[in-house]
């Protein structure tokens, strides 16, 4: 189906530029979720499988823009968790099974029947949950800097203590000062990470932390049949490489790649190298990037107006 960018007046125009996603609100039960779809540029006979993207804790969908600007061949679908980015605060606590259910509904409402799944850090839990819970929609699974859940091998205590609060999303000076301690990536990358950053609400962040309390993928991970790729950074202060080795051991059809000298945010700080690894796993060729200029995404207010217009009588 063709994807469009809906303007404030409700008029829809075709998207010619992959860098400008369609951003709108999806409704799952009583919860609204701000959703983004980047339209892939490979429209040939062998159009590529769309990619469902689960972001890290506290991370708004705009942070995926740098990845989408480089990985342009296929449609990319992601959404803000409740209380994160432009999504309203959660009304009730939720668990990874609900996140997978929400993703399935969003995909089906937008005409997607089969996807590859990518989960980053916190998003690795919902990604594994989706691959098992929605196996009929999952072709391949990519897990970046993530774990099996509460059964993880813990990282650096200094990094983990700073992860307990959303302060790094609120105070940019704090982020810059503690960037290397937090993630293991060079402090010079803090600006690129924060440029599209939107502070989560305290409630949204806490509920996202709570979603993983006591959760582990071990009860079902051996039943995930999708071909899987696990990517880790050997300088990751939050998720040590041993977690990736354990994932690789437990997933029946998986490969492990470790990026030397990379920290937790290698999908951003070592983007070209990481995307090449993912492309090789998918067995696909690179396509030209159609547009490299900075793109201003539709604001939360514009997205909410678009949401209202969809349900207007």
Q: Where are the domains of the chain?
A: 4-307
Q: What is the CATH number of domain 4-307?
A: 3.40.50.1820
Residues 6 or more apart whose CB falls under 8 angstroms from that of 287 comprise: 41, 42, 72, 73
pTM: 0.83
- Is residue 31 within 8 Å of 91, Cβ to Cβ? yes
Active site residue 121: yes
For 82-118, how does the pLDDT look when each residue is reduced to its tens digit (9 = 90+)? Answer: 999 999 999 999 999 999 999 999 999 999 999 999 9
Q: How would you write the pLDDT of the chain (313 residues) with one tens digit per residue? A: 333 333 333 334 344 456 789 999 999 999 999 999 999 887 655 578 999 999 999 989 998 888 898 888 899 999 999 999 999 999 999 999 999 999 999 999 999 999 999 999 999 999 999 999 999 999 999 999 999 999 898 877 777 766 766 777 777 777 777 676 777 766 666 666 667 778 899 999 999 999 999 999 999 999 999 999 999 999 998 899 999 999 999 999 999 999 999 999 899 889 999 999 999 999 887 766 554 444 455 555 555 555 455 545 4
Task: Name the active-site residue from 39, 121, 201, 254.
Answer: 121
């Amino acid at each position: 189906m063709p994807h469009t960018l809906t303007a404030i007046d409700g008029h829809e125009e075709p998207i010619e530029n992959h860098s400008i996603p369609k951003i709108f609100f999806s409704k799952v039960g009583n919860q609204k979720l701000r959703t983004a779809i980047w339209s892939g540029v490979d429209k040939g006979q062998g159009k590529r499988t769309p990619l469902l993207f689960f972001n890290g804790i506290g991370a708004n969908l705009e942070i995926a823009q740098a990845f989408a600007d480089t990985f342009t061949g296929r449609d990319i679908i992601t959404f803000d968790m409740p209380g994160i980015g432009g999504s309203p605060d959660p009304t009730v606590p939720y668990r990874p099974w609900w996140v997978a259910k929400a993703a399935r509904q969003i995909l089906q409402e937008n005409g997607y029947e089969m996807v590859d799944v990518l989960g980053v850090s916190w998003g690795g839990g919902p990604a594994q949950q989706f691959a098992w819970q929605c196996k009929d929609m999952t072709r391949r699974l990519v897990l970046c800097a993530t774990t099996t859940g509460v059964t993880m091998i813990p990282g650096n205590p200094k990094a983990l203590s700073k992860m307990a609060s959303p302060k790094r999303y609120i105070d940019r000076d704090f982020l810059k000062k503690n960037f290397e301690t937090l993630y293991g990536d060079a402090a010079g990358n803090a600006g690129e990470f924060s440029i599209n950053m939107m502070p989560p609400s305290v409630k949204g962040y806490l509920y996202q932390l709570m979603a993983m309390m006591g959760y582990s993928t071990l009860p079902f991970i051996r039943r995930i049949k999708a071909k899987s790729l696990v990517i880790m950074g050997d300088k990751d202060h939050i998720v040590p490489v041993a977690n990736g080795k354990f994932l690789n051991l437990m997933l029946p059809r998986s490969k492990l790649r470790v990026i030397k000298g990379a920290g937790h945010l290698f999908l951003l700080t070592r983007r070209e190298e990481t995307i090449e690894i993912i492309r090789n796993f998918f067995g696909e060729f690179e396509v030209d990037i159609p547009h490299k200029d900075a793109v201003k995404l539709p604001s939360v207010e514009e997205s909410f107006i678009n949401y209202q217009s969809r349900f207007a009588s």
